[in-house]
Structure 1
């Protein structure tokens, strides 16, 4: 019997020999969250990396509320500072009570409980099982507690216990508890909060009413011991305890319903997830703190600006957005806002990584390719007139933002004013497959071939993420050189590995065009939000059916990309390029350059600037009824940038340049008479010349519905137009406010005899005439 007892004691004492030191326990402590720091060392995000428990940081005893320390000792181990790890008086009382089947208070001390918590993951010798600890476990726990009390100081035992003890559900340690249930750090807990926390130790998952009842008893013990009265726990005496207990039930219920770890978990959740996923992978151990490339003030400003602007757009069916800021030289991500947060119904979706249609933001790369291949120059003339391009799927008929055509314009004007038809004509020259390869070279790899997208590739039909699109614009800012973005700080110290994605001369010319306020005036005006007080180059874009709106551009040091829309893909209502993303882009750029200049880039080698003149041109649609002087040039003379060897002093339309024009002296009347005579010339059968029969017209989402017009033209005299059997207008041409659906267009003579007829289909958003109200209707199947 004695031999068995000795064996039992030796076996029970084995865990005591494995007790670690206090420093080892503290060093081994791992929070369940990783803290993301800005490059300045400021916390910008707290991200959950351990899904099994919720642990905050290790809190030193000096930073824990004295009220909580006292409440815990009074609740769990009143003679903590007197015994040597085991409270033999409490153990004897418990044994006596058990002998007589009396309800007794547990005799397990804080030190004994800590010994059980320190039992390593590879050994569960001291860990309590559902049915309670066995006699051997109790004996082992007693021995381990006495050894622990000899090796550690009392303050170390109390500090470790408060950081390791499970409080409720997944909450482990005082930092997680205090921030989750009370929304504050552990040093700020008052008497009432301390009493609730101490009560949870004994029964972590008890009902709120039972926790409140126990907390009330702890409050009374605190006041009897003379330590009560801090914060909202009362002011001493039985009266203060009674007041605190009266409201404790509601207070405890509310506290136990809270689930957020911290009311200020951060401003960069999407970036934090992407960084940890890219840097550490799925199965790697993530450190407690990770320093990123983000600038904390800029990140907060970008979040606030996005949310504020989307609130201003409330009522236009837009609730999501994203902002990305890159350093041009290093590719460092300075700001990454993935969503509008609480304004969004899909706040977990990262708008920086989501695939969306970029609209007109791909045009700079198309014109850059055409300039690099010497197909065009910035002064080359391109035709902005109705185009009917035959494709395998039928006629492709691009439209401009304002449903108007400008006639012959220079490439500078076509790109800066974002004219769609000239872009499609340029893609016809470049070919979709070649442009597809160019997009890949600047970091925009597409999942489908160029032929898959066809000529709609010029207008941004493929889907790309804001991250890649913004970095592609950074390529333009760096003279056509591409490098990956950088997420973690500090950088390696080595310069980024650049590859040449575009001809540097073409990149410079494209940037010069996109910074030209006068060139974009035809569409945006000279005082739009895109016109900054410092040098910038910017391009806007809107996707089909107004689902996505973009503004991407760069300054001397930074590239900023902004997207607004809906994560669900729902269409916005009347959100154009300058009312959607552009104001956010301009505000972020203004913040970046509040105290920092931005100068225009130096020209690349192989470029020269020369003066160019433009010849006169034909009358474009929409000029009828006005009296232009045909001696005026298509555009004003200017200094223009050229790839060396492509310069020329005059740009004119060959078919018009040699034709005699009325002189200024002949005046407007002569001009109108000549137009009338040309329209009434006999000998030609009456027919509708545009649009072509069977045309399918997809309305450009960049245009507010009330400003949309479709031009019908015909040859013949005395013509009357009818739309679906109703009068539409008279003359050789009429303008029509498009309405979704299938329509029959006819021209008749004065007697009502039908001379020609076509059928067309309109798809997209229409407007109710006279109301300005946008309405979307599916085309009739």
Structure 2
């Protein structure tokens, strides 16, 4: 009987060899090159891993692991378990086949005669792949032939390496890298003997119950450690725990939001699945940015702020060097990308507004603007802008108004420029607004529109580049950059007068000019040249710090993804400290020089009437310079009268601003004056602030004897305040 079986086996094998002469496997290098992990690696510009993202939901592959990077214990366990004579045979273990009964030799429930090489052949060739009912006779014969072909063309170490990277272990897990990271939370080179035994046991019984896996692992471990007592009970507990572990997260790294942007359908499958997607980011900068943002937000605990985002751009190329979309574990909305989310920018639009006014020769950096109560008539009533500190500075220069971030002068500037024209300017620098300028009205000067952090930071990069707008990109040059946005400016096209851009940058770098609001020892000051602007939206929902140096533009946003207001977070305590640390990190070994003025600028000495500001040298667009700036038309002393508000004024309360923060400023000319509202005395002096109350009111100006000198009637529309509201 044994001779008959041997003869039949030899005959069928010979026929299979003759029939399979034309069959050829790919080379080892081709198989390794075509290997596709189920995760896509997103890399920085130098090839360092930033983020790993799972992109194949069907099978869990890790990276291809070289045999030298697999622990010796695992290699030993796999050979002892699956193919003891692996290094002795030429693909088929004839000795094992001849020693086994015919049924056992080809029974799919055992691999007693199925070598590692034969198994690999079945994994590489779809025609030889094992089905749910096992392999048929033709497949088994083909597998035998294919194994011998592999042995003729591949080295043993290549066969074992390919096998370890291709063999299914359990469920969706295929390959030793996915197994090691999922069940043991480590790389394959770190597996010990116990872990290796469990891994080898899973090849024999991929979906078996933990008890059966542990039993098989105990047998493997005994073979590995011959003569040593093995604690199978402890191994059973270990195997049960390991089989329940899922340590290999679907995504992990330091740039999850940028990774999602990089994994766009426009990238070809080939570009995605080689060593990874190469981005323009710098991994050390990305790590520093993330940890700095998280540390600062932890310091703000107790002020109802949990989210933040930041982006760093290279001025010359537009490359994104850092992209942190959220505060990660600190946020309840970590999936929201704060770099792209639309938020109100507050005062950070002011530099673009003043640049436009200067370019249109409506203003110069030395022009005087009135920082006093402004009551601007609109279709819905009066618009009454307020400064951040609820105080007014009187007449100030444009330099002071912008650097100190005064609101009323900005609104007066927008009245000159017009909301529609300013909206066109914002679109030119790549900030597409959802509505036209008239929709936002004069509040557009204070950031009532919504923009993204990326778009706003790139708009500041336009100022850094002398008014030329360009697209940003986050993929290295081997992948074609994204096409220009149809809603923004074209790449490297002029959007702002370079002379105006220079003047605005000079103002935003002037520590003395910002001292009225921020003080001389501000976090905004750096030891190298930089220009920066902060901004806060209504009710402290958003806080920004955007600025640039000679080479970089950095934008930081702090707030809550939910839109909830922060508590007592100012321009210098919110985003600005993060901005300052990032700039310091970027320039720790790199200088930032003062930019050279473009042609068409002159520097001239100016004085201010009534010594409103100290004399200084100032930059002007050629033809707009003048030596003296004074308050025009100082009125002669006249009879006492109310100068604001005018008679018949209708005041519309803003529902987005707490009523107690809305004040109407009364102003009058004369001395020894008192104010009465509806017959009740409430203030003394030439000016006063009144908490508006819905209804019709009579405002009277009276002298010390109570004689009425002037009066106006006004109406307040909108929701009122509670009766005990603080005045």
The one of 238, 242, 255 aligned to 1:248: 238
1:403–1:709 contact (8 Å) kept in structure 2: no
Displacement of 1:584 in angstroms is 0.4
1:40/1:686 Cα in 2 relative to 1: closer, same or farther (>3 Å)?
A: closer
The one of 151, 154, 157 aligned to 1:152: 154
1:434–1:450 contact (8 Å) kept in structure 2: yes
Separation (CA, whole Å) in 1 of partners of 2:496 and 2:549: 18
Displacement of 1:289 in angstroms is 3.0
The one of 107, 111, 122 aligned to 2:117: 111
1:445/1:194 Cα in 2 relative to 1: closer, same or farther (>3 Å)?
A: same
- 1:587 partnered with 2:581: yes
The one of 62, 73, 88 aligned to 1:67: 73
**Helix, strand or coil at the partner of 1:429:** helix
Structure 1 residues 411-490: aligned runs within 5 Å: 411-489=398-476
**Helix, strand or coil at the partner of 1:297:** helix
The one of 541, 545, 550 aligned to 1:547: 541
Displacement of 1:508 in angstroms is 0.6
Separation (CA, whole Å) in 1 of partners of 2:368 and 2:643: 32
- 1:355 partnered with 2:345: no
Separation (CA, whole Å) in 1 of partners of 2:429 and 2:713: 49
User: TM-score when scaled to structure 1?
Assistant: 0.80
Tell me the equivalent position of 1:217. Answer: 219
Structure 1 residues 87-106: aligned runs within 5 Å: 87-88=93-94, 90-91=96-97, 95=101
Displacement of 1:546 in angstroms is 2.1
Separation (CA, whole Å) in 1 of partners of 2:124 and 2:379: 73
Separation (CA, whole Å) in 1 of partners of 2:108 and 2:424: 84
- The C-alpha deviation readout for 1:224-244, integer Å capped at 9, x for no partner, is 2x6xxxxxxxxxx21x53474
Displacement of 1:359 in angstroms is 1.6
Separation (CA, whole Å) in 2 of partners of 1:697 and 1:53: 56
Separation (CA, whole Å) in 2 of partners of 1:219 and 1:767: 80
Aligned residues: 699
**Helix, strand or coil at the partner of 2:554:** strand
1:429/1:102 Cα in 2 relative to 1: closer, same or farther (>3 Å)?
A: closer
**Helix, strand or coil at the partner of 2:532:** strand
**Helix, strand or coil at the partner of 2:264:** helix
Separation (CA, whole Å) in 1 of partners of 2:491 and 2:53: 30
- The C-alpha deviation readout for 1:169-201, integer Å capped at 9, x for no partner, is 333211222233323221111112212222222
1:362–1:460 contact (8 Å) kept in structure 2: yes
- The C-alpha deviation readout for 1:493-512, integer Å capped at 9, x for no partner, is 99x96221111110011011
- 1:641 partnered with 2:641: no
**Helix, strand or coil at the partner of 2:225:** helix
Separation (CA, whole Å) in 1 of partners of 2:584 and 2:642: 60
Structure 1 residues 485-496: aligned runs within 5 Å: 485-489=472-476
Tell me the equivalent position of 1:308. Answer: 295
1:544/1:685 Cα in 2 relative to 1: closer, same or farther (>3 Å)?
A: closer
Deviates more, 1:367-376 or 1:285-294: 285-294
Tell me the equivalent position of 1:575. Answer: 569
2:280–2:321 contact (8 Å) kept in structure 1: yes
Displacement of 1:368 in angstroms is 0.4
Tell me the equivalent position of 2:44. Answer: 38
Over the aligned positions, Cα root-mean-square deviation in angstroms equals 3.9
Separation (CA, whole Å) in 2 of partners of 1:698 and 1:411: 30
Separation (CA, whole Å) in 2 of partners of 1:579 and 1:765: 31
Tell me the equivalent position of 1:537. Answer: 531
Tell me the equivalent position of 2:486. Answer: none
- 1:650 partnered with 2:639: no
Tell me the equivalent position of 1:257. Answer: 246
Displacement of 1:8 in angstroms is 11
Deviates more, 1:88-97 or 1:457-466: 88-97
**Helix, strand or coil at the partner of 2:607:** strand
Separation (CA, whole Å) in 2 of partners of 1:15 and 1:403: 90
Structure 1 residues 587-736: aligned runs within 5 Å: 587-616=581-610, 633-656=611-634, 659=636, 681=640, 692-697=649-654, 710-713=663-666, 719=675, 729-731=682-684, 734-735=688-689
Displacement of 1:742 in angstroms is 5.9
2:37–2:273 contact (8 Å) kept in structure 1: no
Tell me the equivalent position of 1:626. Answer: none
Tell me the equivalent position of 1:79. Answer: 85
Structure 1 residues 283-322: aligned runs within 5 Å: 286-322=273-309
Q: Which 5+ residue runs of structure 1 have no aligned equivalent?
A: 227-236, 617-632, 661-676, 771-781
Separation (CA, whole Å) in 1 of partners of 2:155 and 2:305: 60
User: TM-score when scaled to structure 2?
Assistant: 0.86
Displacement of 1:139 in angstroms is 2.6
2:183–2:242 contact (8 Å) kept in structure 1: no
Tell me the equivalent position of 2:62. Answer: 56
1:112/1:569 Cα in 2 relative to 1: closer, same or farther (>3 Å)?
A: same
Displacement of 1:729 in angstroms is 3.8
**Helix, strand or coil at the partner of 1:335:** strand
Separation (CA, whole Å) in 2 of partners of 1:730 and 1:764: 20
1:102/1:140 Cα in 2 relative to 1: closer, same or farther (>3 Å)?
A: closer
**Helix, strand or coil at the partner of 2:382:** strand
Tell me the equivalent position of 2:4. Answer: none
Tell me the equivalent position of 1:673. Answer: none
Separation (CA, whole Å) in 2 of partners of 1:15 and 1:456: 81
1:646/1:547 Cα in 2 relative to 1: closer, same or farther (>3 Å)?
A: same
Displacement of 1:767 in angstroms is 12
**Helix, strand or coil at the partner of 2:567:** coil
**Helix, strand or coil at the partner of 1:192:** helix
**Helix, strand or coil at the partner of 1:538:** strand
Displacement of 1:463 in angstroms is 1.9
Separation (CA, whole Å) in 2 of partners of 1:252 and 1:474: 51
Separation (CA, whole Å) in 1 of partners of 2:82 and 2:538: 66
- The C-alpha deviation readout for 1:726-749, integer Å capped at 9, x for no partner, is x994436554679xx968877699
1:192–1:244 contact (8 Å) kept in structure 2: no
Q: Which 5+ residue runs of structure 2 have no aligned equivalent?
A: 1-7, 482-489
Separation (CA, whole Å) in 1 of partners of 2:261 and 2:338: 12
1:474/1:279 Cα in 2 relative to 1: closer, same or farther (>3 Å)?
A: farther
Tell me the equivalent position of 1:17. Answer: 23
Structure 1 residues 195-214: aligned runs within 5 Å: 195-214=197-216
Displacement of 1:589 in angstroms is 0.5
Displacement of 1:355 in angstroms is 1.9
2:320–2:473 contact (8 Å) kept in structure 1: yes
**Helix, strand or coil at the partner of 2:451:** coil
Displacement of 1:698 in angstroms is 5.6
Structure 1 residues 216-235: aligned runs within 5 Å: 216-224=218-226
Displacement of 1:364 in angstroms is 0.6
**Helix, strand or coil at the partner of 1:363:** helix
1:212/1:403 Cα in 2 relative to 1: closer, same or farther (>3 Å)?
A: farther
Displacement of 1:321 in angstroms is 1.5
1:39–1:490 contact (8 Å) kept in structure 2: no
